[in-house]
């Protein structure tokens, strides 16, 4: 395990104050790994009170079948007690998981540790995992493999399974499965809908650096959606229809940074306005394709509604005919002659129908 000290110093060791040794001088770029090496750095955000969930998140990283996975654990708090607890946890995983613990004592919103993690990253690919979500073992193999096979892509993401549970002293306790995040990549959709959880995606870091993309530190929530809107305006992404992660919710949404609904609504309105601007930047051929698909959908809808009307009229006609046949049957079964012949039919064991 490696623990980052203050800028310009590199520290190693387990829990407690680490022994600092000189690192790269300020302004010096971190050493890059060999291009095309397939390594994956994962930014893991954590805050006090969530250590039991962080255990699951880090073990899900340790269980990856892809070689070269490293966790950048961003401890977003000035609380040195929680920092020491995270250091101790990471030390227990030594030999199972390569990890760097980075204290982020400054305040700010949820984008701050993401940008600090981006500064620390050196691998070819980048992932983001909150401390209360988990990866499936084939997460990295699936998404990194897809990006390596498709050099034109900057983003690849898979299916995220929503899982509901409750908090316990031991951590997350599963209760039930919810819906899945499994939508194809569409620039227009990102303009008005946040449908890609951070835990389901892998990014090509060189493209992010080349474009100068960063998470918006002015946003109190929904920083992941704003980042995807900025990325999708100029870079390509793809959906891989394979389950890769669990997006965990607990105790009615208590995993959220804040439950202030007004704050969420204001931020959502801001990003919807931004999204409209992003949509206007979509290439003309993509807008034309979207328009054609919309027209085709309207034609299919009109055909379906016409068919429904036809079936409803047929059902009404058949319903009247069926009612008449039932009335005739009841009249026959209720007649005096039918009742008189009941004994004769029993004696001859005929297959004539009995009355209802």
pLDDT, one tens digit per residue, over 187-232 is 888 888 999 999 999 999 999 999 999 999 999 999 999 999 999 9
Give yes or no for residue 275 having a pLDDT over 80. yes
Q: What percent of the chain shows pLDDT beyond 70?
A: 80
pLDDT, residue 254, reads: 52
How is the chain split into domains, by residue range? 2-281, 287-347
Please give the mean pLDDT across all residues of the chain: 83
The values of phi and psi at residue 27, to 5°, are 90, -5
**DSSP collapsed to 3 states, the chain:** CEEECCCCEEEECCCCCCEEEECCCCCCCCCCCCCCCCCEEEEEEECCCCHHHHHHHHHHHHCCCCCCEEEEEEECCCCHHHHHHHHHHHHHCCCCCEEEEEECCCCCCCHHHHHHHHHHCCCCEEEEEECCCEECCCHHHHHHHHHHHCCCCCEEEEEEEEEEEEEECCEEEEEEEEEEECCCCCHHHHHHCCCCCHHHEEEEHHHHHHHCCCCCCCCCCCHHHHHHHHHHCCCCEEEEEEEEEEEEEECCCCCCCCCCHHHHHHHHHHHHHHHHHHHHCCCHHHHHHHHHHHHHHHHHHHHHHHHHHHHHHHHHHHHHHHHHHHHHHHHHHCCHHHHHCHHHHHHCCCCCCCCC
Output the pLDDT for position 248: 92
Query: Of 6-15, 111-120, 244-253, 288-297, where does the model show the most confidence?
Result: 111-120
171 — pLDDT class (breaks 50, 70, 90): confident
| pLDDT (tens digit per residue) in 74-88 | 999 999 999 999 999
- The pLDDT assigned to 38 comes to 93
252 vs 300, residue with greater confidence: 300
For the segment 139-158, the average pLDDT, to the nearest whole number, is: 97
The whole-model pTM stands at 0.70
> What does CATH list as the number for 2-281?
3.90.550.10
Residues 85, 88: Cα–Cα separation, whole Å: 5
Cβ pair 12, 41 in contact under 8 A: no
Instruction: Report pLDDT for 34.
Output: 42
pLDDT digits (tens, 9 = 90+) for 4-15: 644 433 333 333
User: Pick the residue with more confidence: 289 or 114?
Assistant: 114
């Amino acid at each position: 395990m490696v623990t980052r000290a203050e800028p310009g110093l590199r520290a190693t060791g387990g829990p407690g104050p680490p022994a600092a040794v000189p690192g790269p001088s300020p302004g010096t770029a971190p050493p890059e790994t060999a291009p095309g090496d397939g390594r994956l750095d994962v930014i893991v955000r954590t805050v006090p009170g969530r250590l039991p969930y962080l255990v699951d998140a880090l073990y899900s990283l340790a269980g990856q079948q892809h070689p070269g996975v490293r966790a950048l654990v961003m401890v977003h708090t000035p609380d040195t007690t929680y920092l020491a607890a995270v250091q101790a946890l990471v030390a227990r995983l030594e030999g199972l998981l390569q990890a760097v613990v980075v204290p982020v004592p400054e305040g700010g919103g949820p984008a701050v540790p993401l940008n600090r993690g981006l500064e620390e990253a050196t691998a070819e690919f980048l992932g983001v995992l909150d401390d209360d979500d988990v990866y499936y073992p084939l997460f990295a193999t699936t998404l990194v493999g897809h990006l390596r096979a498709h050099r034109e892509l900057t983003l690849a993401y898979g299916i995220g399974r929503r899982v509901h549970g409750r908090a316990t002293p031991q951590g997350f306790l599963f209760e039930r499965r919810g819906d899945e995040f499994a939508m194809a990549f569409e620039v227009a959709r990102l303009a008005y809908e946040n449908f890609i959880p951070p835990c389901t995606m892998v990014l090509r870091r060189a493209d992010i650096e080349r474009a100068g993309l960063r998470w918006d530190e002015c946003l109190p929530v929904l920083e992941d959606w704003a980042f995807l809107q900025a990325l999708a305006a100029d870079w390509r992404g793809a959906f891989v229809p394979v389950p890769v992660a669990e997006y965990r919710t607990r105790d009615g949404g208590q995993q959220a940074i804040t439950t202030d609904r007004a704050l969420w609504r204001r931020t959502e309105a801001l990003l919807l306005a931004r999204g409209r601007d992003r949509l206007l930047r979509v290439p003309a051929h993509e807008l034309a394709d979207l328009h054609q698909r919309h027209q085709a959908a309207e034609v299919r809808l009109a055909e379906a509604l016409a068919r429904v009307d036809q079936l409803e009229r047929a059902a009404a006609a058949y319903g009247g005919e069926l009612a008449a046949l039932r009335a005739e049957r009841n009249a026959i079964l209720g007649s005096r002659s039918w009742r008189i012949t009941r004994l004769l039919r029993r004696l001859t064991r005929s297959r004539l129908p009995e009355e209802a």
